[in-house]
Amino acid sequence: MSFSTIGAPSPSRVGSALPPRPIRIIIGTALALAIAGLIAAVLLAILSAASNEADSGFSRIDIPHLLRMTAIQAGLTTGLSLAVGMALAWCLNRLRFPGRDLVVGLFASAIVTPGMVVAFGLLSIWGRNGWINQVSEALFGTSIGNPAFGLSGILFAHVILDGAFAARILLARLDAIPANRLKIGQSLALAAWQRFSVIDWPAMRGTLPGLGAIIFLLAFTSFPIVLMLGGGPANQTLEVAIYAAVRQDFDLRGAVLLALTQIGVCSVVIFAASAFAPVPTALGHSSAPQWRDGAGARALQYAVLAVSTLGFVLPLLSVLLDGLSAGMAELLSRPAFWRAAATSLVIGGVSAVSAVTLALLLCLARAASANSAMRTLLGVPAFAYLAVPAVVLSLGFFLLVRSLGVNPGVAARYVVILGNTLLSLPFAVATLGPPLDAIMRTRGKLVRALGLSGWRQFRLVEYPLLGRDLGVALALAFCFSLGDLGVIALFGTQDFETLPLMMFRALGAYRSNDAAAIAALLLIGTIIAFTALPRLFERLAHVAR
């Protein structure tokens, strides 16, 4: 995903080749304006609360400290994740081994793996009673301490998720290098370092600013990982401080000031990132020749791949082992669990369908428009939700609902669905937008020459070609909602809780068996959704061809 897709080149270069689709553009514009209006309402609710809440003078919130801590951990996460991602993409691009597709798929799933599941897995491996300490004590009679807590733990968890995410994006860039370029390089007998500097680096570097900005934002607004691994106020970030101000200290004014700070920083990052040149979207793989690096480089590649795969897989494996062997049976016997599971599935399902429907309507309108200002109008509101993190969005809705005189408890279900829909929207738009643009660019003339109606265009051309991307967008949105803790955290009650909230409460009450079992189920649900939905839609689309 890249912010620069907002201003990606329009199919206007083919000019009149675009079939006129006024209804699509009207619907898309209305939705974009409605989304922008909702953002404005949320911001207004936050601003008006800031001016209305009396300054008690007792706020303990230290914004400069929080800002510094958040920026440090997000900056370090970004640098480390990009470095790990580049190294990993380099290895995966070069090496061919049995199970490679599985490893690539594992790293691709990093973006949807719930942060709290990874945090829990890290504690199982690196925590005080984790696997590493048990082995260390058995072998050397000494413990390595508790590196899973504090800044090191936060960075570790973020790099596991974001480094794998970066690797998958950068691998797509490397896999899309034109075969002719590789043939020339190979016939020139370029050494491994020459190949990296002359062929790989130019293919990756254009993606780095946008990718870095996304990782920075993900880390800057990270909630469950910092909440679980932060280990106290020293490592608290803005997002967690907002939650603490509302739920623990009842300091609404402080929370609003923090939210405004957070929105300000995120907006600056988004605008800075969108100034970079558009990143070309790689569609498909080049039929590259097999070109192996020398023995030394290959040994290094296998070593990097082994360490990275272990770093990513071990925490998830421990979640599955701990969860499936501990309190699973007891958890499954509890009615509260089934209520939470049903709530999670309904919220995840409705949010995902809503997000994909919205994204599809926005992207269809954008692909049909030749006007670059119109395309920006249709893209910006969806991406603006990257600047409004989950807890801030939740706080804004909380204030909005309260100002309308509605009991937040009554509105909770709808607000959580709406919140999750909007937070998934940028990812759904980034998934569906580029292929829809490409379809119009390559087949617009034919669609127009054949005089297809808008509906037939969608049914016969766009839907069959989009199939897998629709499934990917749906899976992304579903998994985000399934693992969300940020939106539900402010609206959850004893009667209205999702699995992530139930897991968080179980951890707080030291019911670690329950937490482990829920973490395992969340992970299994995520894996099933992320692997099954794209395949299902690919098959459905194939039938439609």
Partner 1 sequence: MLRAEDLTFAHPRQVAPYVFSMEAAPGIVTAVSGASGAGKSTFLDLLAGFLTPSSGRLTLDGQDLLPLPPEERPISLLLQSESLFEHLSASRNIALGLPAGTPRHEAAERIARALTEVGLEDIGPQRAATLSGGQKQRVALARTLLRNRPVLLLDEPFSALDDETRQSTRLLVRNLTERHGWHTILVSHHQDDINALASRHYRIVDNRFVLA
Nearest by Cα to 342 from 109, 491, 502? 502
Q: Does 181 bind partner 1 (CB under 8 A)?
A: yes
What are 27's two structure tokens? 């619907």
Give min distance, CB of 292 to partner 1, in A: 9
Neighbour-count burial for 280-306, b at 16+ CB within 10 Å, e otherwise: bbbeeeeebeeeebeeebeebbeebbe
Number of neighbouring beta carbons within 10 Å of residue 477:
31
Residue 22 or 202: the one with the smaller Cβ distance to partner 1 is 202
| Contact call for residues 309 and 103 (beta carbons, < 8 A) | yes
Q: Does 198 bind partner 1 (CB under 8 A)?
A: yes
CA distance 93 to 101: 11
Number of neighbouring beta carbons within 10 Å of residue 451:
8
Contact stretch for partner 1 (CB under 8 A) within 121-129, 188-196, 312-320, 380-388: 188-196
Residue 287 or 333: the one with the smaller Cβ distance to partner 1 is 287
- Taken in order 144, 146, 152, 154, the sign of the CA dihedral is positive
Residue 37 or 202: the one with the smaller Cβ distance to partner 1 is 202
| Contact call for residues 382 and 475 (beta carbons, < 8 A) | no
Residue 180 or 493: the one with the smaller Cβ distance to partner 1 is 180
Contact stretch for partner 1 (CB under 8 A) within 182-190, 327-335, 458-466, 526-534: 182-190
Residues 6+ apart with CB under 8 A from 405: none
Contact stretch for partner 1 (CB under 8 A) within 33-41, 179-187, 217-225, 445-453: 179-187
Q: Does 178 bind partner 1 (CB under 8 A)?
A: yes
Member of 26, 184, 275, 310 binding partner 1 (CB under 8 A): 184
Contact stretch for partner 1 (CB under 8 A) within 6-14, 194-202, 301-309, 489-497: 194-202
Q: Does 277 bind partner 1 (CB under 8 A)?
A: no
Give min distance, CB of 278 to partner 1, in A: 16
Q: Does 295 bind partner 1 (CB under 8 A)?
A: no
Q: Does 493 bind partner 1 (CB under 8 A)?
A: no
Nearest by Cα to 313 from 161, 168, 167? 161
Contact stretch for partner 1 (CB under 8 A) within 81-89, 190-198, 267-275, 525-533: 190-198
Q: Does 297 bind partner 1 (CB under 8 A)?
A: no
CA distance 324 to 318: 10
Contact stretch for partner 1 (CB under 8 A) within 174-182, 251-259, 386-394, 448-456: 174-182
Nearest by Cα to 388 from 65, 55, 35? 35
Number of H helices, E strands in the chain: 24, 0
Give min distance, CB of 190 to partner 1, in A: 7
Member of 54, 139, 189, 329 binding partner 1 (CB under 8 A): 189
Binding site for partner 1 (CB under 8 A): 178, 180-181, 183-184, 186-191, 194, 198-199, 202, 289, 291
